[in-house]
């Protein structure tokens, strides 16, 4: 059982070029963003705390002007590095910083362009662009992840053909999650029942024999099981159905800030958060150490 934040989702950039109706990371209540120096300092503190993997998310992380530098610093610190993206500027990142990445995650919620567009992702070319980017990711020898949010518009869909075409190393399938203050007022028509979510999952069990079956997370699994950092450098938690934010990590340190929002490591394990995420395989967890806090400059 990990006693430290082994894996962290760092939502490093608030803006996004898409307008996904279900998005639970709009950060409309967050003002400002981190300088690259502060972002790197947070990475240093996370690494000192024993964190092994960092997944850069958003908003859209490839729009962050300093993502290349932050990826390079994360690699130098010894992190397993990952990004989850809609692909906006992914080609540019891959051209310059492929050596600083272990995983590339692409968000594709349907194999149908009309459904993607209705969800607010892309302008009718998202699926084909994702295929091109998956091909590029594989060609570079990087591990690929597919993220799919199941909603009222796609729960009856069979994505097996698309999944076989892009062949991700890991396919994450999420039940659309309502978060007060993030997607309320937009997501309600997209919400589905647990039974509808299970129907989507069961439809794709045929892929298990090919090593492509989805890793699934319903609403319960998604709550309180992630260690997440917002664009302002604070931990945030979703256990209450609304985001709760810590003090800035650079002000109070990793241990104090994480304690302010909480995190359930048992749920982290249950949802499959601890897996072989690097080409070399996993290293054993390290013990939690006491750390001195660092003041924000």
The CA angle 184-190-193, to the nearest 5 degrees, is 105
Structural domain boundaries of the chain?
7-270
Query: In angstroms, rounded to a whole number, what is the distance separating the alpha carbons of residues 155 and 157?
Result: 6
Q: Is the N-terminal amide bond of 217 cis, ω within 30° of 0?
A: no
**Residues with Cβ within 8 Å of residue 189, at least 6 apart in sequence:** 21, 152
Residue 15: which of 2, 26, 30 has the closest Cα? 26
Residue 1: half-sphere exposure toward Cβ, Cα within 13 Å: 7
Contact 38, 96 (CB under 8 A): no
User: What pLDDT digit, counting tens, does each position of 60-85 carry?
Assistant: 999 999 999 999 999 999 999 999 99
Report the C-alpha dihedral over residues 85, 216, 7, 107, rounded to 10 degrees. 0
User: What pLDDT digit, counting tens, does each position of 246-275 carry?
Assistant: 999 999 999 999 999 989 999 999 998 888
Contact 189, 235 (CB under 8 A): no
Alpha carbon 11 to its chain's center: 8
Active site residue 16: yes
Annotated active-site residue in 16, 44, 51, 76 = 16
Pick the CATH number of 7-270 from 3.20.20.70, 3.90.1150.10, 3.40.50.720, 1.10.3720.10: 3.20.20.70
Contact 244, 224 (CB under 8 A): no
Strands of 103-107's sheet in order across: 215-217, 170-175, 143-150, 103-107, 80-85, 53-58, 7-13, 228-229, 234-237, 244-248
Q: Is 98 exposed, middle or buried (0-12, 13-18, 19+ CB in 10 A)?
A: middle
Contact 258, 51 (CB under 8 A): no
Strands 234-237, 228-229: pairing kind? antiparallel
Predicted local distance difference test score (pLDDT) of residue 123: 86
Residue 153: which of 186, 193, 109, 123 has the closest Cα? 109
Residue ranges of the chain whose pLDDT lies below 50: 1, 280-297
Annotated active-site residue in 23, 44, 51, 76 = 23
Report the DSSP beta bridge partners of residue 228.
Answer: 9, 236
Task: Classify the phi-psi angles of 266: left when phi > 0, otherwise alpha if psi is within -120 to 50, otherwise beta.
Answer: alpha
| φ, ψ for residue 278, nearest 5 deg | -125, 155
First to last CA, the chain: 34
């Amino acid at each position: 059982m990990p006693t430290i934040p082994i894996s962290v989702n760092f939502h490093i950039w608030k803006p996004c070029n898409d307008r996904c109706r279900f998005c639970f990371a709009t950060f409309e209540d967050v003002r400002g963003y981190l300088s690259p120096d502060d972002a790197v300092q947070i990475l240093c503190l996370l690494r000192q705390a024993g964190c092994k993997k960092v997944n850069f998310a958003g908003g859209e992380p490839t729009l962050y002007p300093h993502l290349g530098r932050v990826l390079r610093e994360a690699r130098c610190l010894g992190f397993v590095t990952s990004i989850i993206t809609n692909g906006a500027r992914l080609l540019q990142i891959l051209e310059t910083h492929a050596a600083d990445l272990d995983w590339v995650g692409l968000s594709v919620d349907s194999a149908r362009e009309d459904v993607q567009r209705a969800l607010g992702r892309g302008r009718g070319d998202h699926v084909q662009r994702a295929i091109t980017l998956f091909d590029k990711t594989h060609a570079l020898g990087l591990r690929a992840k597919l993220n799919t949010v199941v909603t009222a518009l796609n729960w009856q869909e069979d994505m097996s053909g698309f999944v076989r075409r892009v062949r991700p190393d890991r396919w994450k399938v999420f039940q659309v999650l309502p978060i007060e203050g993030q997607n309320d007022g937009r997501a309600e028509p997209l919400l589905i029942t647990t039974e509808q979510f299970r129907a989507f999952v069961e439809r794709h069990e045929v892929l298990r024999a090919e090593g492509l079956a989805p890793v699934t997370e319903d609403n319960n699994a998604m709550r309180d099981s992630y260690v997440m950092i917002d664009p302002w450098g604070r931990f945030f938690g979703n256990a209450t159905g609304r985001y709760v934010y810590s003090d800035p990590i650079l002000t109070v340190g990793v241990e104090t800030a994480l304690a302010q929002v909480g995190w359930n490591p048992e749920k982290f394990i249950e949802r499959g958060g601890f897996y072989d995420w690097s080409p070399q395989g996993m290293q054993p967890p390290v013990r939690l150490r006491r750390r001195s806090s660092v003041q924000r400059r």
